[in-house]
Amino acid sequence: MIHRFLSVIFVLCAAVVAHADDIPFDQRPNWQKQETWMDTSQGDVGIDLELAAQEGKSLMLLWEQPGCVYCTRLHEKNFKNPVIRDLLNKNFRVVPLDMAGKRKVRARDGTVMTEAQLARRMKVTGAPTTVVFNSGGVLKDKDLRSVAFRMPGYLKSFHYFTVLAYFLSDQHEDLSLREFTKLRAAEFRQRGVDPERW
């Protein structure tokens, strides 16, 4: 009797797990706080890239994980800054993903894996990590849909904004990021704004 009961429980659990694969990626349980202006992944990086390219934007994968203090700071500080939020909204399709997640995603080569496996494949080793693809064709010397740059860790608002502005500007062809940052900091100070407190 007990064996029959356990067999029934096993079959029911297997059915639930099999059915979970039929649930669209954006409807699967996830802990992440997604800002209203962010985009939801289609569960397929190739499709996410295509959607970004159709909008003339670059795809930004925002890798986070549960309990990440700096992920919270990124949301509470950087993403609350209207200048940063507008820059992101206008130029990027921002898709948050869980670097320890168990949701199934399809990589660009068609391989299906968990978010955690995709994060490892993309060499994401900490949270937050921002990975930007050149899906909008912004960088002329980079292949379309290739990884243009990554920002591992948390950057204060001014530095986060400056890296994004550098990526979007034509000046990245003539200036190093360090030179660009110095120029932007000088501009801020001329306006009476302390870059470190912005």
Q: Which residues contact 54 (CB under 8 A, 6 or more apart)?
A: none
Average pLDDT over residues 19-42: 67
Is the CA virtual torsion 88, 92, 96, 97 positive or negative? negative
- CA-based radius of gyration for the chain: 20
Q: Which of 32-36, 37-41, 104-108 has the lowest mean pLDDT?
A: 32-36
Provide the token pair at 160: 């986060």
Residue-by-residue DSSP string for 109-123: TS-EEEHHHHHHHTT
In order of start, what are the domains of the chain with their CATH numbers?
A: 31-151 (3.40.30.10), 155-198 (no CATH)
Residue type at 82? P
Which pTM was predicted? 0.80
In the predicted model, is pLDDT for residue 21 greater than 70? Answer: no
In the predicted model, is pLDDT for residue 31 greater than 80? Answer: no
In the predicted model, is pLDDT for residue 19 greater than 90? Answer: no
Rounded Cα gap, residues 44 and 104, in angstroms? 9
